[in-house]
């Protein structure tokens, strides 16, 4: 029966790891207070060689919170952060929470139309940004259009931002971040674990973004879950740990796995505005970083650096990659260089993002996402009946339950009705579970291609194409086909020096790897593929491009 213990994956948990470990929930403000008390003199952040201790960080948060409270931030209000990885982000994040407000994360790569939509939907009236030229025009537009009642601007060069990054003047009427100060209220608002901490917008291939309501309890539970997993696998945080914080903190993965875990465990965070191979290698070899979570593009760039073997990478204790498949030869090269196997797993914005992980030392294979983390229950249910649990090996929708799972989507009651069944969250991911309790991800439900009446899963096609020695990166999407309804089209970036090939040659290569109905009917080579703000390959732009040029019912090009 679904949900009954012991769960099958518990039998393959390594010794010392307990699925039933206590998962603590609370508030993020209490978590911060405990960290300041425990790690006061330790460095919390380093940015451009300037360090900030936990005590200094706490004082900055208190000053900012007092200033935000004077602007009206408080319970029932939203504060929007339009910030890259500058120290302003963690300060403003915890300051907004201290007032009892909700944090709304805006992506620095969003166009102004998307920013406006999220500001209006979240009811945020305070916007916090920085004077980087990339962000200032959009923020100023939102302010002048009165979408933002208050605009707070942090001076990026106050933190020693490199001179080659262009800055912009602060709009008239905006408030300098340094001026957010004032007397603290007699008492800060009472916050509970059930209060919303973050409205985290999630994207999709179609439709408008929607905000997952992540409570203080969801996020503290996720931190506790990760801590239980790391401690149970012999990888608990140690004094002196340093983590490279180059993945954007406005994204749920870095928010939880870098910022919040770092705060809770007293880990120094090396804040980085953008990824740079040389900087990352120096962070490891000279600053002795111990942890580096990245995405495949970062790891590929590092592995291909001509002088990487000259750098001392011995300080690393853990490395991880996520967001897209990583070529096996790159993974093996990195293991040889660092002595560590790249970890991986699965999670969602809606799960804060704790979900599954590969077992320690386990080699990644196509579609394997690992076992559920402590305190998390998962199963596979029928696509046509989300209450019917499927047997091991059967393909269906992945369902999840745990204290880390969102309470629902902000102002989307109809979507919440569809997303939850008997306390379980329906992920929209298609997968299987084997007899041992390991999960395999086949594809996103909404990305499924229906070709000639057959279900075709782009991820399966992508995994097969990645086996081609000439392929560096690939995205597969469905395009209109007059005969089949839809057919698969592959967009490919070739490895350096590799020659292009025909669609016929690709189909011949895939003939023993995929069914005939799964073989792509179209192929396009590109110098690069679109990406999300965190570096994941993004299908949305390609789908929009194809939809705009291919009339409904037209044949897909071959």
For the stretch 468-490, pLDDT in tens is 999 999 999 999 876 677 899 99
CA 185 to the chain's CA centroid? 35
pLDDT digits (tens, 9 = 90+) for 251-273: 999 999 999 999 999 999 999 99
pLDDT at res. 249: 96
Q: Which domains does the chain have, with CATH numbers?
A: 8-24+215-443 (3.40.50.12780), 28-191 (3.40.50.980), 448-549 (3.30.300.30)
CA 114 to the chain's CA centroid? 19
pLDDT at res. 183: 85
pLDDT at res. 452: 62
| Cα distance between residue 433 and residue 382, in whole Å | 13
| Cα distance between residue 67 and residue 180, in whole Å | 4
Structure tokens that stand for 537 in this block: 């390959």
| Cα distance between residue 450 and residue 518, in whole Å | 10
pLDDT digits (tens, 9 = 90+) for 115-163: 999 999 999 999 999 999 999 999 999 999 999 999 999 999 998 876 6
pLDDT at res. 1: 44
| 8 A C-beta contact, residue 355 and residue 377 | no
Structure tokens that stand for 245 in this block: 């914080």
pLDDT at res. 208: 63
- Report helix, strand or coil for 278: helix
Beta bridge partners of 345: 357
pLDDT at res. 544: 84
Mean pLDDT taken over the chain: 91
For the cut 50, the answer to whether the pLDDT of residue 555 exceeds it is no
Q: What percent of the chain has pLDDT over 90?
A: 75
Q: What percent of the chain has pLDDT over 70?
A: 95
Structure tokens that stand for 436 in this block: 């041992």
pLDDT at res. 204: 41
pLDDT digits (tens, 9 = 90+) for 283-335: 999 999 999 999 887 898 899 899 999 999 999 999 988 766 677 788 889 99
Q: Which of 169, 165, 113, 114 is nearest to 140 (CA)?
A: 169
pLDDT digits (tens, 9 = 90+) for 368-393: 999 999 999 999 999 999 999 999 99
pLDDT at res. 24: 97
pLDDT at res. 364: 72
- Report helix, strand or coil for 469: coil
Region 233-258: mean pLDDT is 95
pLDDT digits (tens, 9 = 90+) for 167-209: 999 999 999 999 998 888 899 999 999 999 999 998 543 346 7
Structure tokens that stand for 428 in this block: 């929209």
Cα-based distances in Å from 205 to 118, 208, 250, 373, 550? 17, 9, 20, 28, 17
| 8 A C-beta contact, residue 86 and residue 131 | no
pLDDT digits (tens, 9 = 90+) for 395-407: 999 999 999 999 9
- Report helix, strand or coil for 549: helix
Tell me whether the omega of the peptide bond preceding residue 6 falls within 30 degrees of 0, making it cis: yes
| 8 A C-beta contact, residue 91 and residue 64 | yes
| 8 A C-beta contact, residue 494 and residue 472 | yes
Structure tokens that stand for 326 in this block: 């990583």
Region of poorest pLDDT, from 75-79, 263-267, 439-443, 506-510: 439-443
| Cα distance between residue 430 and residue 380, in whole Å | 8
| 8 A C-beta contact, residue 8 and residue 378 | no
pLDDT digits (tens, 9 = 90+) for 501-542: 999 999 999 988 887 788 999 999 999 999 887 778 888 889
pLDDT at res. 551: 46
User: Comparing 355 with 515, which gets the higher pLDDT?
Assistant: 355
pLDDT band at residue 552, thresholds of 50, 70 and 90?
Answer: very low
Region 110-118: mean pLDDT is 87
pLDDT at res. 548: 77
Region of poorest pLDDT, from 18-27, 168-177, 458-467: 458-467
pLDDT at res. 483: 61
Region of poorest pLDDT, from 60-74, 306-320, 440-454: 440-454
């Amino acid at each position: 029966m679904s949900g009954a213990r012991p769960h099958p994956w518990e039998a393959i948990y390594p010794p010392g790891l307990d699925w039933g470990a206590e998962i603590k929930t609370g508030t993020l403000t209490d978590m911060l207070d405990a960290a300041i008390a425990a790690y006061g003199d330790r460095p919390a952040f380093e940015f451009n060689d300037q360090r900030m201790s936990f005590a200094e960080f706490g004082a900055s948060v208190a000053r900012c919170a007092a200033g935000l409270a004077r602007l009206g931030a408080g319970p029932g209000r939203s504060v929007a952060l339009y910030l890259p990885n500058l120290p302003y982000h963690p300060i403003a994040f915890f300051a907004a929470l201290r007032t009892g407000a909700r944090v709304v994360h805006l992506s620095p790569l969003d166009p102004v139309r998307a920013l406006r939509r999220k500001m209006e939907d979240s009811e945020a009236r305070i916007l916090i940004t920085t004077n980087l030229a990339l962000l200032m025009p959009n923020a100023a537009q939102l302010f002048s259009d009165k979408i933002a009642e208050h605009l707070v601007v942090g001076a990026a060069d106050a933190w020693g931002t490199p001179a080659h990054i262009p800055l912009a003047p602060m709009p008239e009427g905006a408030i300098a971040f340094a001026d957010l100060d004032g007397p603290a209220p007699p008492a800060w608002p009472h916050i509970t674990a059930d209060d919303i901490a973050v409205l985290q917008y999630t994207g999709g291939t179609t439709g408008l973004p929607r905000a997952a309501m992540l409570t203080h309890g969801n996020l503290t539970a996720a931190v506790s879950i990760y801590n239980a997993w790391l401690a149970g696998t012999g990888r608990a945080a140690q004094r002196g740990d340093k983590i490279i914080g180059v993945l954007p903190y406005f994204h749920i993965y870095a928010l939880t796995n870098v910022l919040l875990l770092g705060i809770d465990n007293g880990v120094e965070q090396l804040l980085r505005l953008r990824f740079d191979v040389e900087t990352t290698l120096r962070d490891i070899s000279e600053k002795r970083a111990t942890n580096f979570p990245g995405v495949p593009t970062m790891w590929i760039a590092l592995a291909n650096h001509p002088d990487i073997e000259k750098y001392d990478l011995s300080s690393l204790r853990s490395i991880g990659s996520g967001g897209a498949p990583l070529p096996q030869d790159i993974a093996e090269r990195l293991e040889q260089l660092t002595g560590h196997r790249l970890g991986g797993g699965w999670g969602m914005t809606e799960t804060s993002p704790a979900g599954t992980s590969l077992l320690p030392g386990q080699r990644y294979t196509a579609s394997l996402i690992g076992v559920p983390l402590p305190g998390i229950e998962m199963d596979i249910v029928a696509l046509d009946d989300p209450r019917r649990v499927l047997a091991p090996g059967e393909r269906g929708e992945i369902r999840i339950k745990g204290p880390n799972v969102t309470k629902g989507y902000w102002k989307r009651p109809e979507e919440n009705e569809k997303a939850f069944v008997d306390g379980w969250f329906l992920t929209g991911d298609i997968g299987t579970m084997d007899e041992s309790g390991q999960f395999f991800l086949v594809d996103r439900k909404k990305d499924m291609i229906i070709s000639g009446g057959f279900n075709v899963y782009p991820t399966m096609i992508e995994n097969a194409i990645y086996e081609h020695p000439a392929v560096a990166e690939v995205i597969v999407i469905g395009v209109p086909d007059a005969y089949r309804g839809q057919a698969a089209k592959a967009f490919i970036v070739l490895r350096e020096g590799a020659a292009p090939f025909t669609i016929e040659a690709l189909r011949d290569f895939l003939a023993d790897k995929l069914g005939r109905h799964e073989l792509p009917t179209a192929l396009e080579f590109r110098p690069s593929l679109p990406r999300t703000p965190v570096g994941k390959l993004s299908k949305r732009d390609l789908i929009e491009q194809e939809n705009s040029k291919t009339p409904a019912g037209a044949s897909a090009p071959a």
